[in-house]
Every structure is written in structure tokens, then in C-alpha cells.
């Protein structure tokens, strides 16, 4: 499963890229706002930190303006992936951009039927929001299971990008189901390292090493 970082924080992206875990980055207007920087400037910097897809979201709601915004965004770098909402105009834009060879991430997916539409429109990625689904009394992981089944039934090439990931269990369940990608805040990705027995083992090894009085360097 590919790991994308859901952030616009350059320091976090740089740190994750150094681990070899980073396969791409997703951004949205809220994350860009949080960075306090200019949208195009941030996306351009992120694109230099990873060879993988970097999702940059349009903010228009009508197809013609979405296309104008997409034209600007995809000129930033070759690895820009245009992010569009799962609306009729969003899928019109998805179809047009996909036909031109541009990567498209269809976002704000909350049903398997929506995911089916996005795949038929040629989306590179579909982004079902599991955390927000859970927040509203639905089973986010059941949604991923349904999309995986439908896509496998018809050999759709659209990749399932599990979004709104809140904790490591979401990552584990997504991997078990067979999602292609998950995108999560850097804090969630870093939490995957954590285990009390790992910490305990390191502490024990260091205590024994100190008793030897040796150094490696």
C-alpha cells in the first residue's frame, strides 16, 4: 500500500521523505490555509520533495472554471494530480483531464455508487473519507470493502485512496482490505512506529550496552 502524507507542512514532508515511506502528498484548501502561505508556492515546493503524485485541489464549482484552474495547477510540475470534488461538474472535469493524460484525484467520496461513477469518469484516484464516515454513524471501512469489490469486479484501474485517516487502526484495516493508497496526517504515519515492546526492548539493550563500557564510534 502506498503512503501519502495529508499535509502542506514542508518540514513534515521532508522528514517523511527521508524515511523512504513517502509515496505522495495530498493537500486541500484547509491545509494550505493552515500553512499560511501562497497555494501555488506551497504545491511547487512539495512537488520538489517527492516524485509521487501531489494532489492540488481546484476551488471552483463549475466545469469551465475548474478546467481553467486545473490548467494553472498542472503547469506547476509533472507530478501534480488535480483534485476535484465528486459532483457532476467535478466528474466532467475528471473525464476531460484524464483524457488529456493528467492525473485526477476525485475527493469527498462517501458512497460506493459515487466511487463507481468516478472510476467510469477515468479517475486516477478515488478518495473515500473513512474518518468522516465514522463520525456520522457509518462504517468507513465497509465503504472501502464495497469499493474494492466493485473495482475488482470490473477491473477498474482507479486506485482507492483511503482518506480522512484518523488513527493507525484505519491504516491497518485499509491494508487488510487491499486499498491501493492511504493518506494520513504525519502524526498518524509516525504513530505506526510506536509499540511499547519496541520501546522496552531498546531500553533493555541500551542498559546492557552501557554495562559493557564500550563505544562503537
Catalytic residue among 48, 68, 83, 92: 83
Please state, as a whole number, how many other Cβ atoms lie within 10 Å of the Cβ of residue 33: 11
Cα(181)–Cα(160) distance, rounded to whole angstroms?
6
Backbone angles phi, psi at 144, to 5 degrees: -65, -40
Contact present, 192 and 19 (Cβ < 8 Å)? no
Say whether 53 sits in a helix, a strand or coil.
Answer: coil
Please state, as a whole number, how many other Cβ atoms lie within 10 Å of the Cβ of residue 201: 11
- Distances from the Cα of 186 to the Cαs of 59, 123, 211, in angstroms? 24, 25, 37
Cell 502561505, residue located: 37
Whether residue 2 lies in the annotated active site: no
Contact present, 28 and 8 (Cβ < 8 Å)? no
- The set of catalytic residues is 83
Amino acid at each position: 500500500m502506498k503512503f501519502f502524507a495529508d499535509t502542506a507542512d514542508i518540514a513534515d514532508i521532508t522528514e517523511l521523505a527521508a524515511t523512504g515511506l513517502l509515496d505522495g502528498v495530498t493537500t486541500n484548501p484547509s491545509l494550505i490555509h493552515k500553512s499560511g502561505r501562497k497555494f501555488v508556492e506551497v504545491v511547487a515546493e512539495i512537488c520538489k520533495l517527492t516524485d509521487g503524485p501531489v494532489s492540488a485541489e481546484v476551488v471552483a464549482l463549475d466545469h469551465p472554471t475548474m478546467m481553467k484552474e486545473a490548467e494553472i495547477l498542472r503547469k506547476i510540475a509533472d507530478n501534480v494530480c488535480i483534485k476535484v470534488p465528486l459532483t457532476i461538474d467535478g466528474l466532467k472535469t475528471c473525464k476531460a483531464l484524464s483524457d488529456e493524460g493528467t492525473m485526477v484525484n476525485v475527493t469527498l467520496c462517501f458512497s460506493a455508487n459515487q466511487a463507481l461513477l468516478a472510476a467510469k469518469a477515468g479517475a486516477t484516484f478515488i478518495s473515500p473519507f473513512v474518518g468522516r464516515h465514522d463520525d456520522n454513524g457509518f462504517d468507513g471501512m465497509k465503504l472501502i470493502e464495497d469499493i474494492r469489490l466493485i473495482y475488482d469486479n470490473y477491473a477498474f484501474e482507479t486506485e482507492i485512496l483511503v482518506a480522512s485517516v484518523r488513527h493507525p487502526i484505519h491504516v491497518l484495516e485499509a491494508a487488510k482490505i487491499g486499498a491501493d493508497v492511504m493518506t494520513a496526517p504525519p502524526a498518524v504515519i509516525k504513530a505506526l512506529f510506536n509499540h511499547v515492546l519496541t520501546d522496552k526492548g531498546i531500553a533493555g539493550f541500551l542498559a546492557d550496552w552501557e554495562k559493557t563500557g564500550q563505544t562503537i564510534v
